[in-house]
Structure 1
Amino acid sequence: MRSERTDGLNASTPVHLSELELDALTELVNLGISEAAGDLATMVRQEVVLSVPRVALVGRDEAIHVLGGAEAKDLVAVHQVFEGDIIGRALLIFPEAKSLELVRAVVGGELSLEDIIELEQEALSETGNVILNGCLGTIANELERSLKISLPEVLHGQSADLFNLSPPPESGDTVMLIYIHFAVRERDIDGHIAMLLDMPSLAVLKDLLTAYIRRVAGDVQI
């Protein structure tokens, strides 16, 4: 059952995480990414090495700039919507060229470019589902909550396109930007996980992180 949102919050109400809360969130993301790496390794039958993720809370405009860089880049994203105490969108995002490398790693064998493009949708959907579900599911479990997660959808576009999906996000949405680097079959692939949260959801997340820290660390100053 969904909990009540924090009273009096709206899209323009600023919500900030303390350093301790951000550290706890990073640790939860790291647990989720590690779980996802194991599932992905089983899927591709090869070792998968992921870097320790870096987590930052940024505005949508900054996220668009980080992903797009100085020039417009063609990106591929696996998109899933999650609902529960926290509501938002999750995207696993790669430069288009890197996404084809990921497909090659997943499908294996020596395939032509035409075959790889034909299998891209299915391979990326499966990979994104493993990584995003592993990350979201672990965070939800550790926070003692549950999330309903939609089926994956593969999107192509530039960074601004990925943050203006229908229905459009409310003004002031915050992006939880997770930087990851992983290698599959010696293929280095840089990617991002982006989670878009509105301000009420971020406020709920802050409360859940506070409760989590107190469960694992006792009565500490947060």
Structure 2
Amino acid sequence: MSAHTIFLEELERDALTELVNIGVSRAASSLRKMVGEQVLLSVPAVEVMTREGAAVLIRERESGELVAVRQDFQGVFSGRALLIFPETNSMALVHAVTGGALSVDEAAEMENEALAETGNVVLNSCLATMANMLQQPLTMSLPEVLRGDGASLFTLSDENADGGVVLFLYINFAINDRDIRGYIAMLMDLPSLQALKTLINDFIERVAGDVG
């Protein structure tokens, strides 16, 4: 079975985009409490692609180094979630999260901690909301900060060498009027994507039943 045979249909992608946007709006609310500033988060587009395709896409959009917060998730569908920023944006994020009260040296020392905390809030809110609305529990690992290019960030272990897929989510991210673009990537193998596709269809049927 190739990834292309189970890519999401338009209705499934719309439903997933809606689920993710509910998740990131909850993340924005949590970040707002954490930083005491206005936080705006939205996911305007969701794409499903191969890991190689995701690496090429992010390389075309971001020429510099990338910073990512990684958390693995396990449940009916399992994989790895990444919150990715261009490295040039990561310090802007740290200053925004810490209210701009730190010196350059202090901000540099706190960078990983602030990034991990932000990633934990965003990824946990996003995935926990999806899991809740799909009526399936997920467990999440602790956040880990990675640096590198798209190819290294999208590499999984050898036992997942079937290629797998990436759910690639663009994020509009603004804290206190600072615009910080980023991405959420969910790396999954094909059985996990098939399981997610099934759960999304169950969700669509429940929503249609409630409306009817």
The answer, yes or no, to whether TM exceeds 0.5 is yes
Cα gap change, 1:168 to 1:158, in 2 (>3 Å): farther
For residues 93-119 of structure 1, the C-alpha deviation after alignment (integer angstroms, 9 at most, x for no partner) is 000010110000111234222211100
Name the one with the larger helix percent.
Answer: 2
**Distance (Å, rounded) in 2 between the aligned partners of 1:119 and 1:103:** 8
Q: Partner amino acid for 1:196?
A: L
**Distance (Å, rounded) in 2 between the aligned partners of 1:79 and 1:12:** 23
SS class of match (2:100)? coil
Of residues 71, 88, 94, the one that matches 2:85 is 94
Q: Partner amino acid for 1:57?
A: V
**Distance (Å, rounded) in 2 between the aligned partners of 1:94 and 1:28:** 22
Of residues 120, 126, 137, the one that matches 2:128 is 137
Query: Hey, what does 1:26 align to over in structure 2?
Result: 17
Which residues of 2 match residues 9-158 of structure 1 at below 5 A? 14-69=5-60, 72-158=63-149
**Distance (Å, rounded) in 1 between the aligned partners of 2:25 and 2:80:** 21
Query: Hey, what does 2:202 align to over in structure 1?
Result: 211
Cα gap change, 1:70 to 1:136, in 2 (>3 Å): closer
**Distance (Å, rounded) in 2 between the aligned partners of 1:71 and 1:121:** 20
**Distance (Å, rounded) in 2 between the aligned partners of 1:169 and 1:147:** 20
Cα gap change, 1:77 to 1:215, in 2 (>3 Å): same
Cα gap change, 1:67 to 1:168, in 2 (>3 Å): farther
Cα gap change, 1:66 to 1:13, in 2 (>3 Å): closer
Alpha-carbon contact 1:102-1:189 (below 8 Å) kept: yes
**Distance (Å, rounded) in 1 between the aligned partners of 2:25 and 2:141:** 22
Aligned residue pairs total: 211
Alpha-carbon contact 1:11-1:198 (below 8 Å) kept: no
**Quick one: percent identity of the two aligned structures?**
53
Structure 1: which 5+ residue stretches go unaligned? 1-9
**Distance (Å, rounded) in 2 between the aligned partners of 1:53 and 1:35:** 16
Alpha-carbon contact 1:84-1:146 (below 8 Å) kept: yes
Following superposition, the deviation at residue 73 of structure 1 comes to 2.1
Q: Partner amino acid for 1:190?
A: R
Alpha-carbon contact 1:12-1:171 (below 8 Å) kept: no
**Cα-Cα RMSD:** 1.9
Following superposition, the deviation at residue 42 of structure 1 comes to 0.6
Cα gap change, 1:142 to 1:71, in 2 (>3 Å): closer
More deviation in 98-107 or 156-165?
156-165
Following superposition, the deviation at residue 123 of structure 1 comes to 0.4
**Distance (Å, rounded) in 1 between the aligned partners of 2:88 and 2:164:** 29
Following superposition, the deviation at residue 166 of structure 1 comes to 4.1
More deviation in 111-120 or 79-88?
111-120
Cα gap change, 1:43 to 1:203, in 2 (>3 Å): same
Query: Hey, what does 2:166 align to over in structure 1?
Result: 175
SS class of match (1:125)? helix
Which residues of 2 match residues 190-209 of structure 1 at below 5 A? 190-209=181-200
